[in-house]
Chains A and B, each alone.
Chain A
Amino acid sequence: MTDTALLLKMTGIHKRFPGVHALGGVDFDVRPGEVHALVGENGAGKSTLMHILAGVFRPDSGAIVFDGREGVHFENERAAQTAGIGMVYQERSLIATLNVAENIFAARQPVDRWGVIRFKTLHARTVELLRALDMDISPMESVDRLSPARQQQVEIAKALSLDAKLVIFDEPTTSLTEAETERFFGVIATLKRRGMGIIYISHRLDEVFKISDRLTVLKDGERVGTYPAGELTADKLIGLMVGRDFLKGLQRAADEAKDRNRVLLEVRGLGDGRRVRDVSFSARAGEVTALAGLNGSGRTETALAVFGAGPRTSGEIRIDGKPAGIRSPQEAVRSGIGYLPEDRKEAGVFLDMSVTENIAAAHLASSRGFREAKSFYRSEADRFRKQLNISAPDLGRPVQNLSGGNQQKVLLARWLLVGPRILFVDEPTRGIDVGAKREVHLLLRRLAESGAAVILISSELPEILAVADRIVVLREGRVSGEFAQSEATEEGIIRCASIPGETA
């Protein structure tokens, strides 16, 4: 096939971020009427590549040919959209209180010469667009009254409303039910028939095989290869995705005594009425138990439900063999459970407060004294600064001056000060540099070895394999497999997490 038959051709795309070579000369192309899947582990460079295409980032070097136009680097998202590239993001970009038509034509509503919106035209154009896409949605419906699947259809319609020739889907099925996913594939088929190029990013390998024509595998910012979907099997694909340098395992050598380690936390049949359907697992003193799974598999929600910070509609939690009726984080902390949240800025640190105050937070909340133990907190903060190697010149200064890695250590110190017997850590190394990552890993191990049950939630399999003693895999709100450290492989975990029917 010649280049003229290509809708998009990206060659030698390089992108460096401070400290990371995110893309090291990636080639990628899409033909009209084709679904081209982009697969790879977290951090492989998929999002960076797509953001370059959509005008969010500029590449350091490399060439893009799109729709016969040479050398295009889109200055911004709007330029990419106008050129005919639509992106359907994982997170919704819709405004819930406005109706479907207003969302689709946000900021581009047809107006008369006085700037008054011509609702009739708006309405008619929306109807036309939705009909062309076989979507049965009323243009006047308010978006917040639509199901997630319908909202996604609106999102797609919005992406296509600018005569897109190429559409990028980033994990489009995460929040869809099975039936909704089927319907979504119907929409994809419609787009294909109309000759559109489609880039499909997903961790769900069964879907990838079902709908894509070709697959490109990225690993550590480089292209492993591009294959016709028919030439690959799930096994082969997983093999191509993994196999990067392993972090050296930190687990103790097989320890006979470990089997006698007491079960500290036992969760049976947990459900939250939403994402968590039926989760059972246990965590032992002295061990790091990992909760693995794709985004949306219910890992975080499981932790929140146990911690009393999220809904719990069914299931039983036992701490140290005794039933624990935890209804709030406060009760959880008093029962010896801690939770280090996934979103550090949003739910973790108190940005304007000092390092010391940040470290004191959970202890302050769970202790019972009358006076605030200021000098105690100061000396403890200083102890943790040395012990955890927190680089903070002044513990009295706001924590926002610290790097992400140091902020994360501050959050760990917050829990170490309370000394929980059970600690959930949710994506503890997301967005922090390699050195700090290693330190956090060592800390989690040390905490477990001191007798706590550590529960690690992570999207990074090498991290899980390097730190965890046991791995519980979740898929769509249920446990789909459990591995001892000795028998766990990336392949096995991915298979369990991403292919329905696979269990271990």
Chain B
Amino acid sequence: MRIHPGGNRMKWIVSIKHIRMTRELGLFCAIVLLTVLFSFLFPVSFPTFDNFSAILRNLALDAVMAAGMLILMVSGLFDLSVGGMFSMVGVVTGWLMKNGGVPVPLAILAGLAVAALGGFINGFVVARVRVNALITTLGTMQIFRGIAVLVGGPGITFLPESFSGLGQAKWLGLQSSVWLMFAVIALFHFLLRKTRFFRQYYYIGGNEKAATLSGIPVARMQIFAFMISGVLAGLAGMAFSARIATSVSVAGDGAELRIITAVILGGASLKGGKGSILGALVGVVFIAMINNLMIIAKISSYWQSIVIGIVLVLAVSMDYFLEKK
């Protein structure tokens, strides 16, 4: 049999197809390209340590919250209450240490407990009472926002230095919230990729019925995922209060949709079963980059949301077409 001359090239194409062009990878390439491009266009203002560290600082807490959101989205759920949680926990913690006279470490623990409880309520209503996640967290979002304003009024200023010190501390030139992000991302990346327990979330999102019938404790795990999301949002809220030494009652407003956008950009799907922590991180970085580039290029910040909206719809539709093919 004669070997077709094109055989070799065919082989090449096949092997390229084996490298799966995931959304994570695509977005990562886009970020690299934009970085290179802007480094040439704005060599003075863009590629500086200060600018990069500012980008990191601005995205760090979003990335922390995105990790929790990603776990929920892998299991086919999501949480609209993270922004409310962010504000509420920041305010409750601040109130306890400023007005309640509670020692800082205890106030932090109490804040985390409030976050865990809020997450548990979300999870319980969704997984046990079986109200859908949209309605449940739409409700708790408003409850948490309300509690934040109720407790803190417009905000609580001049938080104790032992607390704000934590938020403003720097190590190797990077702020503590950036290190918090690195820790959270590394931890959950490992957990979600390597551990038996967290792998089960992919099964739940893939087919909830089949997961139940395989013996996966679906409801318990969903409750736990909401608790993780709540605690991470609370942690982010506290870190933010500490950084500016003030608990702002509306600090987290709008975070929920920004984070869901980032996580979907990073490869997760509302249907569940898909996504990775690194993807979620890339999504957050992308949004922060767009934001930063607009400022550097002195483009009106209104364009930012237009661009992100276009990219979101384009990215998801592209997936849809690729899948159909």
Contacts and interface: CB of A to CB of B under 8 A. Distances in A.
Interface of A: 307, 309, 328-330, 332-334, 339, 341, 346-353, 357, 361-362, 364-373, 414
Interface stretch (B96-104, B212-220, B248-256, B276-284): B212-220
A327 B274 CA distance: 30
Contacts of A365: 200, 203, 211, 214-217
A156 B30 CA distance: 59
Contact of B213 (A329, A334, A352, A373): A329
B210 A349 contact: yes
A345 to B, nearest CB: 9
B207 interface: yes
B199 A364 contact: yes
B303 to A, nearest CB: 36
A195 to B, nearest CB: 46
B195 A372 contact: yes
Contact of B214 (A334, A361, A373): A361
Given A347-B209, A349-B207, A372-B194, A364 B273 contact: no
Contact of A330 (B195, B197, B210, B217): B217
Given A350-B273, A352-B273, A365-B200, A329 B195 contact: no
Given A346-B209, A347-B209, A371-B196, A333 B273 contact: no
16 contacts: A309-B212, A329-B212, A330-B217, A341-B209, A348-B210, A348-B213, A350-B273, A352-B273, A352-B274, A362-B214, A362-B215, A365-B203, A365-B211, A368-B196, A373-B196, A414-B214
Contacts, number: 81
Contacts of A348: 210, 213
Contacts of A369: 196
B196 A370 contact: yes
B273 A353 contact: yes
A428 to B, nearest CB: 14
A341 B273 CA distance: 21
Contacts of B210: 341, 347-350, 361
A173 to B, nearest CB: 28
Contacts of B207: 347, 349-351
Interface string B173-197: 0000000000000000000001111
Interface in B265-279: 273-274
Contacts of B217: 328, 330, 365
A332 B215 contact: yes
A329 B202 contact: no
Contacts of A370: 195-197
Given A364-B196, A373-B196, 16 more contacts: A309-B213, A334-B215, A339-B213, A346-B209, A350-B206, A350-B207, A350-B211, A361-B216, A362-B215, A364-B216, A365-B214, A366-B215, A369-B196, A370-B196, A372-B199, A414-B214
A341 B213 CA distance: 8
Given A349-B210, A351-B207, A414-B214, A364 B200 contact: yes
A334 B215 CA distance: 8
B196 to A, nearest CB: 5
Q: What interface size band does chain B fall in?
A: 20 to 34
A359 to B, nearest CB: 11
Contacts of A349: 207, 210
Contacts of A372: 194-196, 199
A361 B211 contact: yes
A368 B195 CA distance: 11
Given A351-B206, A353-B273, A361-B203, A371 B195 contact: yes
A368 B197 CA distance: 9
Nearest to B272: A352
Sort A-B residue pairs by CB-CB distance and give the 9 closest, nearest first. A333-B215, A350-B206, A361-B214, A365-B215, A347-B209, A365-B216, A362-B214, A330-B215, A372-B196
Given A353-B273, A361-B203, A364-B203, A330 B216 contact: yes
Given A351-B207, A353-B206, A372-B194, A329 B199 contact: no
B262 to A, nearest CB: 22
Nearest to A370: B195
Nearest to B269: A352
Highest count of chain B CB atoms <10 Å: which of A332, A341, A362: A362
A352 B206 contact: yes
A329 B206 CA distance: 18
Contacts of B273: 350, 352-353
A309 B195 CA distance: 26
A215 B282 CA distance: 68
Contacts of B216: 330, 361, 364-365
Nearest to A331: B215
A16 B202 CA distance: 40
Nearest to A411: B210
Nearest to A309: B213
A369 B197 CA distance: 8
A347 B213 contact: yes
Contacts of A341: 209-210, 213
A350 B203 CA distance: 7
